[in-house]
A and B are shown apart, each in its own frame.
Chain A
Amino acid sequence: QSALTQPASVSGSPGQSITISCTGTSSDVGNYNLVSWYQQHPGKAPKLMIYEVSKRPSGVSNRFSGSKSGNTASLTISGLQAEDEADYYCCSYAGSIPRVFGGGTKLTVL
């Protein structure tokens, strides 16, 4: 049950776009279109931002988008805003085990 691999940190200036990668294996990310992304501000519970690789729940800004190629999923945030500064986690269905999360990426808005 190895965690999915995410960069420890990314940064961008307001208005720019950033992409966070999430690399798994053919047993999780590569085998299912069931990748989700969560945003977590300090001291708060995670919030669902993307599900099924690229779908947005009601109420989530369309500045957030997701994609997948092979064993790697990606989260892109366009038009960066100060309030986007947070930790981001990917998560994938992996069959008969509980869901597997990525190690998390700290986004800094410069």
Chain B
Amino acid sequence: EVQLVESGGTLILPGGSLRLSCVASGFTVNNNYMSWVRQAPGKGLECVSIIYSGGSTYYADSVKGRFTISRDNSKNTLYLQMNSLRAEDTATYYCARGWVVGDAFDIWGQGTMVTVSS
């Protein structure tokens, strides 16, 4: 079965660091582009980062310089390293597979909640 399972979300203090993980099964992460999409409580979706199969990475302005997307092909896992966390980073973070055929996110994880608060 093709699926994504995120983990790592928690309550964390402002200024702290956190690493989210997304384990893929049924396909290979480095054969697709992968993304982290977040959703603040009661708000819409925001694509915060993308990593392409060739290794190129892109970030939304809101997280540039603070977040780093990466993958471990041996573990078939996508990561999001989040530093200097702010209250406005509070959200459910989804990992999503980019479908090359249609340039769309065709597989989504269940999400992991990050709460930044003192």
Residue-wise, chain B 4-44 has the 8 Å CB interface mask toward A (1 for contact) of 00000000000000000000000000000001010000001
Contact check, B111 vs A45: say whether CB atoms are below 8 A apart: yes
Query: How far apart sit A3 and B58, CA to CA, in the bound complex (Å)?
Result: 17
Return A20 CB to nearest CB of chain B, in Å.
Answer: 13
Inter-subunit contact B45/A104 (CB<8 Å): yes
Instruction: Check: A47 CB closer than 8 A to any chain B CB.
Output: yes
Is B49 engaged at the interface, CB distance under 8 Å to the other chain? yes
CA distance A70 to B110 in the complex (A): 34
Contacts of B96 in A (CB 8 A): 46
- Please state if B103 and A3 are interface contacts (CB–CB under 8 Å): no
Residues of B within 8 Å of A1, CB to CB, are 60-61
With contact pairs A51-B99, A51-B103 given, residues A98 and B50 touching in the complex (Cβ less than 8 Å): yes
Dominant SS among interface residues on chain B: strand
Q: Does A69 count as interface, using CB distance less than 8 angstroms? A: no
Q: Is the CB of B104 within 8 A of A96?
A: no
Instruction: Please determine whether A45 and B94 come into contact, CB atoms closer than 8 angstroms.
Output: yes
Contact of B58 among A47, A98, A102, A104 (CB under 8 A): A98
Bound complex: CA of A99 vs CA of B106, how far in Å?
Answer: 14
Tell whether, in the assembled complex, residue A46 and residue B94 are in contact, meaning their CB atoms are under 8 Å apart: yes
Closest to B50 in A: A98
Given the interface contacts A1-B60, A99-B35, A104-B45, does A57 sit within 8 Å of B108 by beta carbon? Answer: no
- Do the beta carbons of B47 and A100 come within 8 Å of each other? yes
A interface residue numbers (CB < 8 A to B): 1, 3, 34, 36, 38, 40, 45-48, 51-52, 55, 57, 89, 91, 93, 96-104
Residues of B within 8 A of A (CB): 35, 37, 44-50, 58-61, 94, 96, 99, 102-106, 108-111
Could you jot down 17 A-B contacts, CB within 8 Å?
A3-B46, A40-B45, A45-B108, A45-B110, A46-B94, A46-B108, A51-B102, A91-B45, A93-B103, A96-B58, A98-B35, A98-B47, A98-B48, A99-B47, A99-B105, A101-B37, A104-B45
